């Protein structure tokens, strides 16, 4: 069976940092067809916590639909650099989120995670902000 690759765009937002927070994500097949989307309030969180929670929710969704590899795009440079091992995770509140993200990534056969400008992550951002309504 051919490995099933997907494309994830994820974003977390916090109003107040910390403050009310929400996540948004899209999960698409390699042809760009939407397979699933996430738009959900997550309670009180910092922006970085929301970014991690968006990634985790998207990974759970991708694994649930049978993804075996993923191309992941986030506008959070911190999360991308921590996942890629370029930055250490010093913040105690982020450590369990980082560990959960790494555990889920380990369930995939392979992945890339890339930092993109906010302007290239508008769909995930829109979904995250829609959760506040």
**pTM for the model:** 0.96
Q: What are the tens digits of pLDDT across the range 77-132?
A: 999 999 999 999 999 999 999 999 999 999 999 999 999 999 999 999 999 999 98
Question: Residue 96 is encoded by which pair of tokens?
Answer: 């369990």
- Neighbour-count burial of 63, counting CB atoms closer than 10 A to its CB (0-12 exposed, 13-18 middle, 19+ buried): middle
Cα–Cα distances in angstroms (integers) from residue 1 to residues 66, 68, 84, 107, in the given order: 12, 11, 28, 17
Q: Which of 78, 103, 106 is nearest to 91 (CA)?
A: 78
- Within 10 A of 114 (CB to CB), how many other CB atoms are there? 11
Q: Which CATH class is domain 5-130?
A: alpha beta
pLDDT for 1 equals: 42
Q: What are the tens digits of pLDDT across the range 59-75?
A: 999 999 999 999 999 99
């Amino acid at each position: 069976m051919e490995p099933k690759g997907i494309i994830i765009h994820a974003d977390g937002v916090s109003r107040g940092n910390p403050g009310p927070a929400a996540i948004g994500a899209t999960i698409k097949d390699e042809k760009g067809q939407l397979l699933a989307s996430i738009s959900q309030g997550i309670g009180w969180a910092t922006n970085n916590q929301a970014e991690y929670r968006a990634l985790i929710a998207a990974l759970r969704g991708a694994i649930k639909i049978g993804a075996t590899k993923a191309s992941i795009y986030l506008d959070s440079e911190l999360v991308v650099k921590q996942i890629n091992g370029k930055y250490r995770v010093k913040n105690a509140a982020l450590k369990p989120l980082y560990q959960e993200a790494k555990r889920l990534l380990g369930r995939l056969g392979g992945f890339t995670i890339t930092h993109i400008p906010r302007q290239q992550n508008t769909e995930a951002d829109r979904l995250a902000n829609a959760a506040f309504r």
